[in-house]
A and B are shown apart, each in its own frame.
Chain A
Amino acid sequence: MTAPTRSLLVADARTKARNRAEARFRAYGLAAILLSVTLLGILLVSILSNGLSAFRQTEIAIPVTLDAALVDKGGKGDPASLRATSATAYGKLIAKALKDELARRSIPTGGLSDKDIAALISEQAGADLRNRVLGDPRLVGQTVTVDGLATGRIDGYFKGRVTLESAEKDSKIKPEQLHLADAMRDAGMMALRFNSGFLTNPDASEKRPEAAGLGVAIVGSLYMMIVVLGLSLPIGVAAAVYLEEFAPKNRFTDLIEVNIANLAAVPSIVFGILGLAAFINFAGLPRSAPLVGGLVLTLMTLPRIIIPARAALKAVPPSIRDAALGIGASRMQSVFHHVLPLAAPGILTGMIIGLAQALGETAPLLLIGMVAFVRDMPGLPPGGFLDPATALPVQVYNWTQRADPAFTERASGAIIVLLAFLLIMNAAAILLRRRFERRW
């Protein structure tokens, strides 16, 4: 008996149904990808459109004569006598220089009071000039060009955030001040420049949002990452190697395994509570210190490193170990000479991804005092690990809560910086894997 003949070229009903099911599944997959790409696109566009302007800042160039009679009242020219002049006094000096410069260039001030004209320059300018003079006392008596920041509202005007209509109702700026700013820009005194201070300056108060920068946060994040790397790499790798290569398989190691997997899923805020209790209240380490932040993040990162490290070790074929043992190597020699080098790319990839997660973590840092206003740069290591600092994601959180609208732009700018760091780290992880990974 022969089966009824069927052409392979004509699909029957069942084949058609199966083909349709596959086409549907592909469409779902594509739709899922498209949706996530669109959402990511919206996120990136909104962050970039809000935040890119933070990398440019309005500056006013003013020639200031550092009259020795005003700057160095002690008249000795030594640092001690220069220190006696306050930043406010320098601010007044700059305000007067601005007024003189406007008069010299015959730019009409539109009937603005001296105070309103002085309000165009950031208060930060006085402090910066004071530091400049203290750093180089020979400047006393000379005329220097001060590139002072314009206040946040003027800066916002050139960036489109402040308009003449909004200035009518705004208690912090007058439309006449904006007209003057226009005239100064046309005269070349005022311009938008690349804002390097955004990456180097410390945070600033509501009075001078234009001077706020990420310097302390970047250094704080860097110090924390050094602590996390220095602690979690050796501990994590040692734990993974022991568990994978040496530990007997029994109930106790099973329990440890379950606990590690469990710890990887514990919400990060829990580690913050632990850190507060163990490192600050019990061990007496200072608040807001990158060392404590790093220790807390190490706790959080460890299970997330041990798991991929064990997977990488597991992926090395047993034949490698057998061959090493077969020619007389000890177990330790077989692990350190053969297995670990082969697993290293996988371990490093896990490590970098773990570090990237730690870099973006905010919640545990809330509890150990890193959400703070810190003006002074932490010192150089090792002492600097105990100086107060903030961290990048914390700075984002901090700036979104500020009243002055200029901080909105800076929060988005900080997100861009954070994303750039994450991108570099994740790209490095992929690169390492591509370059060194071996498959069997």
Chain B
Amino acid sequence: MTRPTIRLTVRLTLTASTLALGLAAATAAEARDQIQVAGSSTVLPFATIAAESFGDNGDFKAPVVEGGGTGAGLKKFCEGAGEETIDIATASRKIKPEERDACTKAGVTDIIEVRLGYDGIVFASDAKGADFALTPTDVYKALAAEVVVDGKLAPNTAKTWKEVNAALPDQEIMAFVPGTKHGTREVFEQKVMEAGCKATGAEDVIKGIKTDPKEAAKACTTLRADGASVDIDGDYTETLARIASEPKAIGVFGLSFYEANTDKLKVASVSGITPSVETIADGSYPVSRPLFFYVKKAHIGVVPGLKEFAEFFVSDEMAGKDGSMAGAGLVPDPKLADQQTIVADETVMN
């Protein structure tokens, strides 16, 4: 390389770096014109659908949507009010009191809580495998770490589903359950394991042995660690891949994920009800949970299009019975009109 070219390069890079440094100062003051959404990975696909259509139709830019989990999203949401914080947090559970406190401390006082719809949690196995008709009792007996034998707690030794319930297939017990960081796990523990614990009468025995109610609840929901139940810390795609290599296993999925993969998976009924958008909406399928999103009222009118997006998110066209998100597995809220009123009136949580 000759000397002039080197000089030129040096000069060029110096200019480039001055530009890059100057940028931060020059443009940081510019107003944000894109809505920022973060939170539950269960709500993520629905939020992206809404954001995409909102960008197509409206006169506003499409919102930027991040996943990361309900807890992480609400943490970011409660960091404060102002342009550098997110506008909407999505959640697969209600906001916890301690999260509210964190919000209040950071100055986020007016929060609009909107229920987007419901999500079903389903048990599904390989499409070529046997049919399963489960009940919470079966699942509890098959997967609990300790079960009650002769009035005492003993390690669970059930090997096949047939041992648990004679009506089930003679197939090795093997389950892939979302890890503890997932919101799905919480619902699984509450609606399946605890229900099963209660139904088998094990709960009363446990309460007799363990006086601390927290310990007792934990004994009901602790899963086997001998390989019959495997925690999946990744997402549903990982569970699906594990089932593909282990066709005898049963996996726990969100309804929307199952709906996108019905050619590879076969769904199990729970207490005689096959999960579907209809059976979850009418409440007959037992394992479901509400999905929420939270809007910072202070940002309405500051971030362009925020209220319009919130309204669009719960509009009939999106979250309604024949809406776009129902097609992707969201179970519509039968009282969606109430939620639309909440957004329209900007009703804050008390």
Contacts and interface: CB of A to CB of B under 8 A. Distances in A.
Given A88-B317, A284-B84, A287-B86, A227 B20 contact: yes
B125 interface: no
Given A205-B51, A230-B17, A383 B27 contact: yes
Contacts of A345: 1
A258 to B, nearest CB: 27
B158 interface: no
A163 to B, nearest CB: 9
B59 A83 contact: yes
Given A87-B56, A287-B36, A341-B3, A371 B27 contact: no
A400 B260 CA distance: 14
Contacts, number: 163
Interface in A304-348: 337, 340-341, 344-345
B166 interface: no
B34 A206 contact: no
B256 interface: yes
Interface in B16-44: 16-17, 19-24, 26-28, 30, 32, 34, 36, 38, 41, 44
State the main secondary structure of chain B at its contact with A.
helix
Residue of B3, B13, B14, B55 with highest tally of chain A CB at under 10 A: B13
B56 A169 contact: no
B1 A436 contact: yes
B30 A383 contact: yes
Contacts of A166: 263-264
**Tier of interface size on chain B:** 35 or more
A179 interface: no
Interface stretch (B61-69, B294-302, B339-347): B61-69
B17 A171 contact: no
A351 to B, nearest CB: 10
A364 interface: no
Contacts of A369: 36, 38, 64, 66
A373 B64 contact: yes
Nearest to A400: B237
Interface stretch (A186-194, A231-239, A352-360): A231-239
Nearest to B276: A171
Contacts of A401: 41, 67, 235, 237
Contacts of B68: 371
B16 A226 contact: yes
B1 A87 contact: no
A126 B30 CA distance: 32
B1 A382 contact: no
A170 interface: yes
A146 interface: no
Contact of B28 (A281, A294, A386, A405): A386
B52 A284 contact: no
Contacts of B19: 230, 382
A70 B228 CA distance: 60
Nearest to B259: A171
A382 B27 contact: yes
Residue of B41, B52, B83, B324 with highest tally of chain A CB at under 10 A: B52
B49 interface: yes
A349 interface: no
Contacts of B257: 403
A172 interface: yes
Contacts of B27: 382-383, 385-386
Contacts of A344: 1, 6, 9
Interface string A274-308: 00000011011111100100100000000000000
Interface string B95-109: 000000000000000
A348 B340 CA distance: 58
Interface string B155-188: 0000000000000000000000000000000000
A36 interface: no
Interface string B303-325: 00000000000000100000010
A133 to B, nearest CB: 13
A234 B14 contact: yes
Contact of B84 (A286, A372, A400, A404): A286
B211 interface: no
B222 interface: no
Contacts of A418: none
Interface string A149-178: 000000000000010001101111000000
Given A206-B328, A382-B23, A376 B66 contact: no
Nearest to A235: B17
Contact of A382 (B26, B53, B237, B262): B26
A229 interface: yes
Residue of A229, A280, A403 with highest tally of chain B CB at under 10 A: A403
Interface in B238-278: 256-257, 259-264
A185 to B, nearest CB: 22
Contacts of B235: 401
Nearest to A208: B52
B45 interface: yes
B57 interface: yes
Nearest to B23: A382
9 smallest CB-CB distances across A and B, nearest first, come from A375-B62, A230-B16, A87-B56, A205-B48, A166-B263, A127-B56, A373-B65, A403-B260, A230-B20
Interface of A: 83, 86-88, 123, 126-127, 130, 162, 166-167, 169-172, 204-208, 226-227, 229-231, 233-235, 280-281, 283-288, 291, 294, 337, 340-341, 344-345, 369, 371-376, 382-383, 385-388, 400-405, 436
Given A127-B56, A344-B1, A401-B237, 16 more contacts: A126-B56, A204-B52, A206-B45, A207-B327, A231-B17, A231-B20, A281-B79, A283-B24, A283-B28, A369-B64, A382-B26, A386-B28, A388-B64, A401-B41, A402-B237, A405-B261
